[in-house]
Amino acid sequence: MQRGANSKTDPTLLKTLKSSFGFTAFRPNQEQIITAFLAGRDVFAALPTGGGKSLCYQFPALIRPGLTVVVSPLIALMKDQVDAARENGLAAAYLNSSLNPDAAREVRAQLSAGAIKLLYVSPERLAAPEFRAALRSYGAGAFAVDEAHCVSEWGHEFRPDYRTLLNLRTEFPQAPIAAFTATATQEVQRDIVTQLGLHDPVVVRASFDRPELLYRVARKHSPAEQVLQFVCERPGDPGIVYRSTRKSSEQTAEILRRHGVSALAYHAGLDDELRNRVQEAFVRDEVQVVVATIAFGMGIDKSNVRWILHGDLPRSLEGYYQETGRAGRDGEPADALLLWGPQDIAIIRRHIAHMTVEAERAGAEKRLREVLAYVGSGVCRRQLLLAHFNEEHSGNCGGCDVCNGEVDTEDLTVPAQKLLSAAARTGEVFGAHHLVDVVTGAVTERVLERGHDKLPTFGVGSDHDRSWWLSLAQDLEAAAYLTRRIGTNGRPAGLQLSPQARRLMRGNERFVSARRRPSAAGADGALSAARHAPAGSQVARTEQHSAERLANAGAAAAPTLHRADQAALFQCLRSVRKRVAAERGVPPYVVFSDKSLKVMAMNRPSTPAAFLRCHGVGERKLESYGAHFLAAIQSFLASGECAER
């Protein structure tokens, strides 16, 4: 949500913002970052995905003399970012391994001639001393480090080549360095500042809250059916399904295709050409769904992703936050559903058990405990996510399944103590089924053989059936009260008590379990937030604010069209956008965002001046696209049909 201009805002900056980028006001924190960077200050900026960080270095590059270098690990994204910058009139280029020798020589020639203002490069390329020497000859005067959390070993995506970026401070002592990230904890922030040698940086930590996202968590019972229902309830809406393995990503994509959904798999096992084709098809709106491993998403700058579905348990809250952040980047409502089950925990623990470095193993275990606390808690999902980034959130957020009443909570401290006691008294070497046999008083051969029918805990849980106790055991494991022993063969070898389990047994903690109401939201809460949000909820408020933003984002000279006609005009403009983007060889979102098209559909500009007042329309885009879109709008209003289809 952009804030309005105030008396302290430089009118010249606002004029450039509108003419080049099509915006009438800066988003929160953008102006502070831009003015500091222009003044030659180092900057650390933690902005949520969709917070407008690219503008924070593209805008200064447009004004600043000399060359600004952007360090990015996302080679697949560089071309799209360069295309977007060029569409806004900024002389931009990239140098990476995807360029053929002739194209690379042309970029270097332009750099030598001073014809490039913004250059995207990878950290691997910057690690070469000869390339840094070339940058000095090109007049590099400022650096922006994107995905800066990759410099930190405390982060979830550490890349060793990022450590070489400290050379920028010593070899370009007068050049300001701005570090940007969307997932930095306070610990990672301190590490970034140290590893990049930032000098007295201007520190900006925006709120990590994404009010447009609705978070839901559900247990797996039939993953293929759950994914299929979720996707089919959102016909035509672009989205990403994350799976933990290559095989499951391919199987899920195949199931979706068999049911008429345009879906493709994406994982590291595909050759580079095929992966690039999948990504390109998704970015260009040629495929609705990508089913991917965690390798996908970092190279995507697509603003109209409407949902994210995790079909398996993520391995860290940072990764989960960043992956869900791929949705709703245009500020419009979006859904995030996480499916999980005990089998996910077993797989992750097996992977952790094979780690040979103790610190690495301890870090992975800590991240898993944080994820399990998130999925197993009866506390507001948003509150838990924000707390992970040292940000407080209180009250009913209205934007998660817990706060929207889809989840019931129950104090199960006493039953939990009984089950934990059974685990302790049997030596912490048995699995959930045997422990449940003990507490329910089941006289099995295994129970009798080991004399467990003589234990004080035998039969203390006969008031509930086996399925109830097994579900409780899953909850205790999810909340890290019970952890799985790993045998010498790498397979689970029984459940053991964690330190917090012993505190619970002593009565120093309470155990509250979250249980989803079967009728709350269809199949495990997989209904669309935009269509089913309770009145007054955060998602409903986001919808209302979205409508207000759209109404204020352009000239509303004519009465609003009927909702159905407005939706039809929006689809018409999407088809125009897709055709124009194909002609220019750029992704559709580079032409205009969905938000811009919605403003056009709402306000139906009939003149270039009215078109220019729409959100995201600057003078450059008016010149490039105005005639196409104005003609389509006039044709639609005259005939009710889209002449561009």
Of the listed ranges 27-41, 80-94, 385-399, 404-418, the one predicted with least confidence: 385-399
**Closest Cα to residue 140, out of 67, 72, 91, 70?**
67
Look at residue 536 and tell me if it is in a domain.
no
Residues 463 and 319 in one domain: no
Residues 384 and 392: their CA atoms lie apart, in Å, by 9
Residues 381 and 322: their CA atoms lie apart, in Å, by 15
pLDDT value of residue 148: 87
Of 372, 405, 438, the last residue of a domain is 405
Over residues 247-287, the pLDDT tens digits come to: 999 999 999 999 999 999 998 888 888 888 898 899 888 99
Of the listed ranges 4-13, 132-141, 564-573, 618-627, the one predicted with least confidence: 4-13
Residues 107 and 136: their CA atoms lie apart, in Å, by 16
Residues 109 and 180 in one domain: yes
Look at residue 281 and tell me if it is in a domain.
yes
Q: Does residue 562 register a pLDDT over 80?
A: no
Residues 422 and 88: their CA atoms lie apart, in Å, by 66
Residues 33 and 106 in one domain: yes
628 confidence band (pLDDT: 50, 70, 90): very high
531 confidence band (pLDDT: 50, 70, 90): very low
Q: For residues 435 and 528, which has the higher predicted lDDT (pLDDT)?
A: 435
Number of domains in the chain: 4
Q: Give the start-end residues of each E strand in 220-312.
A: 239-242, 263-266, 289-292, 307-310
In a 3-state reduction of DSSP, which class is residue 492?
strand
Residues 74 and 116 in one domain: yes
Residues 112 and 59 in one domain: yes
Residues whose CB falls within 8 Å of the CB of residue 611, separated by 6 or more in sequence, listed in order: 600, 605, 617, 622, 626, 629, 630
CB 364 within 8 A of CB 315: yes
**Closest Cα to residue 48, out of 181, 158, 154, 239?**
181
Q: Does residue 545 register a pLDDT over 70?
A: no
Q: Does residue 214 register a pLDDT over 70?
A: yes
Q: Does residue 88 register a pLDDT over 90?
A: no
554 confidence band (pLDDT: 50, 70, 90): low
Residues 194 and 82 in one domain: yes
Look at residue 342 and tell me if it is in a domain.
yes
The CATH number that applies at residue 588 is 1.10.150.80
Residues 238 and 197 in one domain: no
Residues 618 and 481: their CA atoms lie apart, in Å, by 56
Compute the average pLDDT of residues 419-428.
96
User: Are β-strands 512-516 and 407-411 bridged in parallel, bridged antiparallel, or unpaired?
Assistant: antiparallel
Over residues 129-157, the pLDDT tens digits come to: 999 999 999 999 999 999 888 887 665 56
Residues 193 and 242 in one domain: no
Tokens of 373: 């606390």
Over residues 394-404, the pLDDT tens digits come to: 778 889 998 88
Over residues 291-343, the pLDDT tens digits come to: 998 756 555 678 889 999 999 999 999 889 989 988 988 888 999 999 998 88
Q: How far is CA 17 from CA 213, 402, 620, in A?
A: 27, 40, 12
Of the listed ranges 101-110, 411-420, 441-450, 521-530, the one predicted with least confidence: 521-530
In a 3-state reduction of DSSP, which class is residue 202?
strand
Tokens of 2: 């952009």
Residues 292 and 311 in one domain: yes
Of 355, 374, 405, the last residue of a domain is 405
CB 492 within 8 A of CB 346: yes
Quick one: what percent of the chain has pLDDT higher than 70? 87
Q: Does residue 533 register a pLDDT over 50?
A: no
Over residues 226-250, the pLDDT tens digits come to: 999 999 999 989 999 999 999 999 9
User: Are β-strands 118-121 and 140-145 bridged in parallel, bridged antiparallel, or unpaired?
Assistant: unpaired
Residues 598 and 182: their CA atoms lie apart, in Å, by 27
Of 459, 483, 510, the last residue of a domain is 510
Residues 217 and 196 in one domain: no
Quick one: what percent of the chain has pLDDT higher than 90? 46
Domain coverage including residue 563: 553-639
Residues 602 and 567: their CA atoms lie apart, in Å, by 9
Number of Cβ within a 10 Å radius of residue 15? 10
Compute the average pLDDT of residues 37-60.
90
Q: Which helix (H) or strand (E) holds 195?
A: helix 186-195
Q: How far is CA 393 from CA 208, 387, 479, 496, in A?
A: 10, 8, 21, 34
pLDDT value of residue 187: 84
Residues 305 and 383 in one domain: yes
Q: Does residue 190 register a pLDDT over 80?
A: yes
pLDDT value of residue 169: 92
Look at residue 1 and tell me if it is in a domain.
no
Residues 545 and 490: their CA atoms lie apart, in Å, by 52
Tokens of 18: 């509108």
Look at residue 547 and tell me if it is in a domain.
no
538 confidence band (pLDDT: 50, 70, 90): very low
527 confidence band (pLDDT: 50, 70, 90): very low
Q: Does residue 381 register a pLDDT over 70?
A: yes
Tokens of 442: 């089941």
DSSP string, 610-626: HHHTSTT--HHHHHHHH
Q: Does residue 557 register a pLDDT over 60?
A: no
Residues 123 and 554: their CA atoms lie apart, in Å, by 40
Residues 245 and 238: their CA atoms lie apart, in Å, by 21
The CATH number that applies at residue 474 is 1.10.10.10
CB 325 within 8 A of CB 182: yes
Q: Which helix (H) or strand (E) holds 95?
A: strand 92-95
553 confidence band (pLDDT: 50, 70, 90): low
Residue carrying the six token digits 């009927």: 562
Q: Does residue 219 register a pLDDT over 70?
A: yes
> Apex CA 89: angle with CA 85 and CA 91, to 5°?
70
Residue carrying the six token digits 């104090």: 411
Look at residue 519 and tell me if it is in a domain.
no
Residues 151 and 275 in one domain: no
Look at residue 307 and tell me if it is in a domain.
yes
Q: How far is CA 151 from CA 50, 142, 146, in A?
A: 21, 18, 10
pTM (predicted TM-score): 0.68
pLDDT value of residue 5: 39
Q: For residues 597 and 342, which has the higher predicted lDDT (pLDDT)?
A: 597
Look at residue 463 and tell me if it is in a domain.
yes
The CATH number that applies at residue 134 is 3.40.50.300
Residues 389 and 415: their CA atoms lie apart, in Å, by 33
> At CB < 8 A and 24+ separation, what contacts does 569-572 make?
569/600, 569/601, 569/604, 569/633, 569/636, 569/642, 570/597, 570/598, 570/601, 571/642, 572/632, 572/636, 572/642, 572/644, 572/645
Compute the average pLDDT of residues 518-531.
39
Over residues 452-506, the pLDDT tens digits come to: 999 999 999 999 999 899 888 877 876 668 887 766 655 667 899 988 899 999 9
